[in-house]
Structure 1
Amino acid sequence: MKDKLIQAIEAGHSAILACGNIKDYVISENRIIFRPWYIAETLSNMNYVVFQYSRSTGLFIHNYSSLPPRDGDEIDSLIRAVGLEQIIKRERPTNISEEIIQVFRGMTRLLLLSNVSKKFKIAAIIDYSEHLAPNLPTGGTDDELFVAECLHALAVGPALKKSGNLLICYVRDGLQNPLLNDMTRVEYSYPNEAEILSFTALAEARAQKTNGNQYGRLANDLDWEEFARLTRGIRIRDLDNLFRSAARQNLQIDRKQILQMKIDSVLAASEGTLSIAQADVSFDDIVGLEVPKYILQEFSKKMKKGDPSAPRCLCFVGPPGTAKSTFAVLLGKMAGYNVLQFDLIKNMFVGESERLLKLALRLLEDMQPSILLIDEMTEMLPSRQEANLDSGVSKHFLGQLLNFSAREDLRGRCLIVGTSNYPSKLDPAILDRFIFIPFLPPTPDEIVKLFGIFEKRITKRYTLNQDAPELHEAAQLLYHKNASPRKIYDIINHALLFSSNNELKAETILKAAESFAGVENPYAVAYSSLESLKLTSFVDYYPWAYPNDVSTYQFSWYLEGLVDQNGHLDRNELEKRQKQYRRLAGI
């Protein structure tokens, strides 16, 4: 497939702003090539003389030494006429600001020359343009303003197009002076599955040809098709480094190495805004929550197929420690989706937070099928009324996210999953767009089952008798102390401190439960649970719905008398209890 920038040139565009995954490798004619070099080489083959400039490298001409002597003489004459000869052929001056002004004054004159030569035209590639013309509230230094004005004048005026010459700026999008945005934008995505497959075919051939000495091999239990699926959206240059590193260390490439590379690559590409979300458990390790399990298993079937009826935005709501984030990761595992957790920290610089969010959303789209996990969404994205308190930064976040969530073309390919302890604080637009599924704390019977599961996870053994009265007494204690599954795990570890031979007994678990001080006002847990039920999107998602049975479901104390025999909530009574518990919890 032809390069995007070359396509834009062939479509008649003369001033191009290239952003996104520019500094990656491309596959061309069974070779792995650095994209900026590939672009310069392609332009040379299209009879352009390619001038390249950045603050660090200075001004140079691509493949200048390999030009025919007559062409070289003609180019020398041109650069002498526009005042660039000394900059190209002599040592760089100590005053870079003076050099920058001289370069852009000369390059502007050169690019505006019509019919420069019968043999060639001029292409100017400006690398790291955001360093030369940055987006600063103060406007920048004299040389930065000069560069921005030069580039803008070239982009919007008719003379450049008339000359047949080219201006190309490589940029980290959002960091450039807004004047550059009048150029034609070309955005490079991260590799799609077809590009990854092209790389894997080449990697397999290289590994065989070099017998693993220059390019590593895959582990015996990992095939190339699975490798392509696991590395979707990862830069080719990172994959190339993985194979070369494996060869140097005489290692086979396994799933663990791929995961670590993916973690590092996503963190770097997103500038710290995204991380790979992981969970070392399965649904079998989670007691209770049968309704969310059932619902998400059904959702995953649609997501696997890319079904346009798959959900677009989900919000898991309930008290802390009820496995909401874990379920988001497990949903991704079932559906075969990348799960990227959003870790954006609001930045003090104007526009920087919005730029990072835009970068994260673009990477999410490039790595599809994917899930964006926004943990503690209430804190990350407060309502627009509260957002005005931080100079509108949160308001811009919210606007970008809402626009992204409304894209129906991504349904079945990109899913947003948020979690919240107090969802009523979310903006009304989020309440309207998201499907809400409640996650309530475990019942006493479920807590007893958790004891056994956590024992096996920690000690790799299962010795507890679930009928032991001490376990049921401990479960009742922890239920009334509002212990979340996360805290129950800590309590099992605490019990092991007093167990001989690292062997759990029902009596030591009861002692640990008695020792547990409790973590939260019981009314706070009750309030959060009722709020979650109040916002639940469908009756089918209530904890007592199928595959559970309302007639046998073990209702918590704060739900007694709220649910009728058909499983419907008494909304009026729920409102009354919410107000009462909110007051008692001091929320």
Structure 2
Amino acid sequence: MNKQENERNYYLPRWYQELLLEAENRTSHFIILSYNVYDYVFPEVEEGGTPAEFTSLKEFLQRDMMDYDSFNGILFFSETSGFSVIDDRSFEIFSAIIGKDRLAKRGVISLKECQDRQKRHETRESLDLINRLLNQREQRIAIVLEFLENLAPSGTKEHMHEEKMVNVEILRRIAMDENIEKTKNIVIGITDNIGGVDVELRRESRCKVIEISLPSKEERLRYLKYLASLKDNERRVLPPISGSLGTKQTEKLENFAEHTHGFNFRALDEFVRKENLNRHIAEKILGKSYDGVTLQKIQERRRSIIQSESKELLIEIPPRGGFNSVGNLAHIKDYLKQIIKNIKLKKTASTPKGILLAGPPGTGKTIIAEALAQEAEINIVQMGDIKSKWVGESEKNLEKVFRLLKDMAPVIVFVDEIDQAIGGRVTEPGAGGGERVSAAMFAKILKEMGSNENRGEILWICATNRPEVLDAAMLRRFDRIFPVLLPYSNESRIEIFKAMENGIVDNFKYDGTVDFNSLAERTKGYSGSEIEQILRDAVYLQECRNDARYDDNRNIVLTQEAIEKAIENFKTNRDDAIYLYQTLLALKFCRSVEDLPREEDVPDDLKEVIRYTRENRSNNFINKKLEELKRDLASRKAMGL
């Protein structure tokens, strides 16, 4: 006999409340649970109730639906493993219909045996059997379809195997079947990537997609407190937390929870188990002290999780420094400082959705994004090239990537060379329907970048030296387009030299006698990245000297002589004409004359361009210069230069 609902000693997760509501009201009988479906379920305990152990999603569904919600049996099915049940009652109900030889249950028939037997049956036959089970009224049942993206994959008919097309059609019929609705039986599909599930199935009126989110900071903190309360289970009890996360235990737990954004309960549990193992090895085997859970360990694990969950489309970037590590570009830093205030004050209306940094390579576009993240104390991830050879997979994974970004918010998404990484509305004509797939991905990215719901939560900072190839719709997603140019003035280069000491180039300090004016004069026309390389070369030269000096922190003391020798040895490999062309493009696509560089900060051949553009609010002069450069570059190419 089922327990009554009021006997539960825990609150139901929000997604499960929504599932029960859909089932009881009969508004949907085909329910898809998506996203964080392979995590532990850790119900919130009512005050004074017995702590609820976390469990898998399958075990939670079986226990709660049968103990409290009048379901007589829960049947699980996957394409490779076939049918399985967890409890005795379900085994009795379904074995009579399916046959005991096809129904896996721990201690009765192994999953391996059922996998072998499933190979002898077509998936179509199994789905037809599921359809008949759902239409019976003797027992109220729920059928859980695992790995739904394999049973009903997304894609077009011309690119889908015939068997898969049949499976999708059967599942659509199940979703549309009004008779199933009358039985109070339900289907629950499980997928961690909703983008991989057939679109038409998701759109059926009696199909409901319910998302299971990653745990919030409050939920992660509750879980950590639960682990801290355990005493007996050595593998799972919370290990000591390092002083890098605070002084008092409450502060440490708060910071632990804060820095584990992107973790689900399972990832947290695995992290804790691994740290307990490391502690055991250190203390019991090696006889050393254990350094505890540190911020660095959490960050390393988080980077790994984000990269894995996004299928390597997102990579977390550890910022190399704040605004003091950015030389030059004062007007951009001033704008970003105001953005930080808006983010912290939740002034979403005045927070940009996107910023485009345009200009030649090596001018500091990446470090600007990193500095903003560090100053604002928010996450920054880099989006990789989505136009890989696995285009179809990338398209499916985009759904998961954007959901992951929302869980990480507030977050900066940095896209370097956006013209290459994302591309335009379509790719070049080619085999395999590449244009259609690219257009679908591009439209999805535009939608997310342009969403006002993401303003103040997801900030896109993109870099390019080819703004003219970007789609007009893409350009409209950027609230501000900044030209990021070469440091033409001595003052700019002096700022860059000084900023390099603040984390960009590691483990060095300037000697007190270094003449920055002289160094700036000798590096006229060099980019920030070229100055960085010169300093790295100088560090190497200094380390090779027998009389190399180090400060108390083991930073090498860099002398004027070593830097000048590195400058003397350095040879730039760039084409000045190409750099000028990219500079003019950056100026052309800038929307505000306030963002143009000062005339005194640019060389003579650009002063007139800046003056005319600022006074006339027109790109005519820039366009004229670009046409002249185009002809020059074309003639050089024709001559093979």
Q: TM-score range by the shorter chain?
A: 0.7 to 0.9
2:315 aligned residue: 275
Task: Measure, in 1, the Cα distance between the counterparts of 2:334 and 2:212.
Answer: 39
1:547 aligned residue: none
Task: Measure, in 1, the Cα distance between the counterparts of 2:497 and 2:331.
Answer: 21
Counterpart amino acid of 2:239? G
- SS of corresponding position for 1:249: helix
- SS of corresponding position for 1:18: strand
Check the 8 A contact 1:84/1:103 in 2, yes or no: no
1:398 aligned residue: 442
1:415 aligned residue: 459
Counterpart amino acid of 1:424? E
Task: Measure, in 2, the Cα distance between the counterparts of 1:304 and 1:36.
Answer: 40
Per-residue CA deviation, residues 88-142 of structure 1 (Å, 9 max, x unaligned), is 266434561516444333322221102x14xxx1111111123334346557566
Matches within 5 A, 1:38-117: 38-45=60-67, 46-48=69-71, 49-64=73-88, 67=89, 75=93, 79-80=95-96, 82-88=97-103, 91-92=113-114, 93-94=116-117, 96-98=119-121, 100-114=123-137, 116-117=138-139
Task: Measure, in 2, the Cα distance between the counterparts of 1:385 and 1:245.
Answer: 46
Is residue 15 of structure 1 aligned with residue 61 of structure 2?
no
Q: State the shift of 1:290 in Å.
A: 0.9
Structure 2: runs of 5 or more not aligned: 1-11, 46-50, 246-251, 280-289, 549-556
Task: Measure, in 1, the Cα distance between the counterparts of 2:424 and 2:128.
Answer: 49
1:522 aligned residue: 576
Q: Percent identity?
A: 22
TM-score (norm 1): 0.87
- SS of corresponding position for 1:167: strand
2:552 aligned residue: none
Measured at CA, do residues 83 and 51 of structure 1 come closer, stay the same or move farther in structure 2, by a change above 3 Å?
closer
Check the 8 A contact 1:231/1:262 in 2, yes or no: yes
Structure 1: runs of 5 or more not aligned: 545-549
Matches within 5 A, 1:463-482: 463=511, 465-467=513-515, 470-476=518-524, 479=525
Q: Equivalent of 2:597, from 540, 543, 549?
A: 543
Measured at CA, do residues 273 and 293 of structure 1 come closer, stay the same or move farther in structure 2, by a change above 3 Å?
same
1:484 aligned residue: 527
Per-residue CA deviation, residues 41-64 of structure 1 (Å, 9 max, x unaligned), is 221221221011224543222222
Is residue 174 of structure 1 aligned with residue 221 of structure 2?
no
Q: Which 4+ stretches in 1 moved above 6 angstroms? A: 208-213
Is residue 225 of structure 1 aligned with residue 254 of structure 2?
yes
Deviates more, 1:17-26 or 1:184-193: 184-193
- SS of corresponding position for 2:55: strand
Deviates more, 1:317-326 or 1:556-565: 556-565
Check the 8 A contact 2:360/2:579 in 1, yes or no: yes
Matches within 5 A, 1:26-425: 26-28=41-43, 29=45, 30=51, 31-45=53-67, 46-48=69-71, 49-64=73-88, 67=89, 75=93, 79-80=95-96, 82-88=97-103, 91-92=113-114, 93-94=116-117, 96-98=119-121, 100-114=123-137, 116-117=138-139, 121-135=140-154, 137=157, 144-171=164-191, 172-178=193-199, 180-181=201-202, 182=204, 183-206=207-230, 214-222=237-245, 223-250=252-279, 251=290, 252-308=292-348, 309-348=350-389, 351-384=392-425, 390-425=434-469
Q: State the shift of 1:417 in Å.
A: 1.4
Counterpart amino acid of 2:407? D
Q: State the shift of 1:403 in Å.
A: 1.1
Q: Equivalent of 1:441, from 486, 496, 515?
A: 486
Q: State the shift of 1:213 in Å.
A: 7.2
Q: State the shift of 1:351 in Å.
A: 4.1
TM-score (norm 2): 0.80
Q: State the shift of 1:506 in Å.
A: 3.0
Check the 8 A contact 1:322/1:439 in 2, yes or no: yes
1:561 aligned residue: 608
Measured at CA, do residues 575 and 83 of structure 1 come closer, stay the same or move farther in structure 2, by a change above 3 Å?
closer
Counterpart amino acid of 2:66? S
- SS of corresponding position for 1:384: coil
2:538 aligned residue: 495
Task: Measure, in 1, the Cα distance between the counterparts of 2:161 and 2:196.
Answer: 15
Counterpart amino acid of 1:411? R
Task: Measure, in 2, the Cα distance between the counterparts of 1:145 and 1:497.
Answer: 62
Q: State the shift of 1:542 in Å.
A: 2.7
Deviates more, 1:230-239 or 1:511-520: 511-520
Check the 8 A contact 1:344/1:357 in 2, yes or no: no
**How many residues matched?**
561
Counterpart amino acid of 1:184? K
- SS of corresponding position for 1:17: strand
Task: Measure, in 1, the Cα distance between the counterparts of 2:233 and 2:117.
Answer: 46
